[in-house]
Amino acid sequence: MLTAPPRSAKATAQSDLEALIEEARRRARRRRVGYAIAAMLAAGALLAGLLSFTGGGGGGPPSADGQFANGPGAPAPGIHNQGASNAKDAPLGPRSDRFLRTVTLPPSAAPQVVREAFAARRFSSAAPRLAARLRSPRGTTVLWASPAYGGGWCQGLQEPRLRFTKTSVSCLWPNAWMQRTVPVSGYDSILFWGRVPQASMRTLQVRFGDGRTTSLPTRDGFFLYRVPEHVLVHTGPRSLLALDRQGRRVAGVTTVFGPPPSLEIFGGIRRPPGGAVLARKYALVERPTQAGRASIWAAPSYAAPARCTWLQVGRAVFGGGCRRYQPPRRGLSEVVPLRIQVRGQILNLLWGQVGSDVAELALRFQNGSETTLPIEKGVFLYPVPTSRWIKGRRPAFLIARSATGRTVGKRLLIEYTLAS
């Protein structure tokens, strides 16, 4: 009887190693198959979700305020059915909300500085064109726009007395995040501009805090709007609504609007300005308040030929700065409407500096009445009494007049008129 010769220890070890390698290969193949199946299942779930979303098969997940985001029948972000704006949302479908990806504005002549700024932006694919214009006593404000490479647009706001450079131009490309919103830029609640990217938009409305709405003119979706002062005296814009031909909302935005908070968190300096020679400080004006005595102090600066001024309530400092000695300023050189908390009480203080041409300083309230503020050594300080902090009677305008009665400066106190 023949028998196999005994295997050596080396051969046995080699065989075991080969068996381990083969087992590792089999496990790797099984893992790859499992990963492929999982990826196919995930892709199928994602495709089903997209089909149900675009096909109108139900709303999205609830947002932080309890409303449904993105789904059909969902309000646009931040838009609520209040006042005169009770339009329903247009349903989302495969072709219901196409984006504007071209600029059809007619060619127009643009200043050289504007052309150079758009050319330096690189993404601009053509010369800038006039999109909107606003005229005011300070000058003309113009919104310029041009097509951008890749199916978008570039825009830039040219304002009087301000330089227009490459950084004044921004470029946008419509994408999914714009589906229910409007990319808008603005300065607080006074001036704002942009373009409604939804091709189905036929009417653009701005809604104010008192529920009223007004329609804005648009050209190829572009808009530029300055809120009139007589409106800001009593209320401010709260939202922007884009409506389709049937009056349904296709987009809206509230993110850049809203009144100042009811109490400003004071972020200024809390000690006399650096450089002030405190050994030579002196009081310019003092006024009593319900939270203590308010005063404006001044001192020369050792760091530069300048005068430093700051506001104190009791011993606490609430803002100030240093200004170089120079030819006398004109009009309202500095206006500071403050809302601060002192010893548990909210204090409204209006203070600042005026130029040498100001002979009279008038404070006009929301109800049209006026009072004269005394000017002492070029500064003024007015603690707003509680009786003047009732809505409809608050301070609205600070007006500087010359000795002949001519207005040489005017400042809308939006921090007070729009405070809640």
Please report the DSSP string for 14-45 in residue order.
Answer: HHHHHHHHHHHHHHHHHHHHHHHHHHHHHHHH
Amino acid at 202: R
Residue where one domain finishes, among candidates 253, 287, 302: 253
Is the whole-model pTM more than 0.85? no
| pLDDT at residue 50, as a whole number | 41
CA 264 to chain centre: 17
pLDDT one-digit tens code per residue, 96-125: 568 999 999 999 999 999 999 999 999 999
For residue 2, being part of any structural domain is answered with no
Q: Which domain holds residue 151?
A: 112-253
For residue 290, being part of any structural domain is answered with yes
What residues have CB less than 8 Å from 275, skipping those under 6 apart?
301, 302, 303, 304, 306, 308, 322
pLDDT one-digit tens code per residue, 40-52: 555 554 444 444 3
User: By the 8 A CB rule, do 67 and 76 touch?
Assistant: no
Residues 215 and 283 in one domain: no
pLDDT one-digit tens code per residue, 267-311: 678 899 988 999 999 999 999 998 889 999 999 999 889 999 999
Number of domains in the chain: 2
For residue 381, being part of any structural domain is answered with yes
Confidence class for position 179, pLDDT limits 50, 70, 90: confident
Residues 292 and 238 in one domain: no
pLDDT one-digit tens code per residue, 211-245: 899 999 999 999 999 999 999 999 999 999 999 99
For residue 155, being part of any structural domain is answered with yes
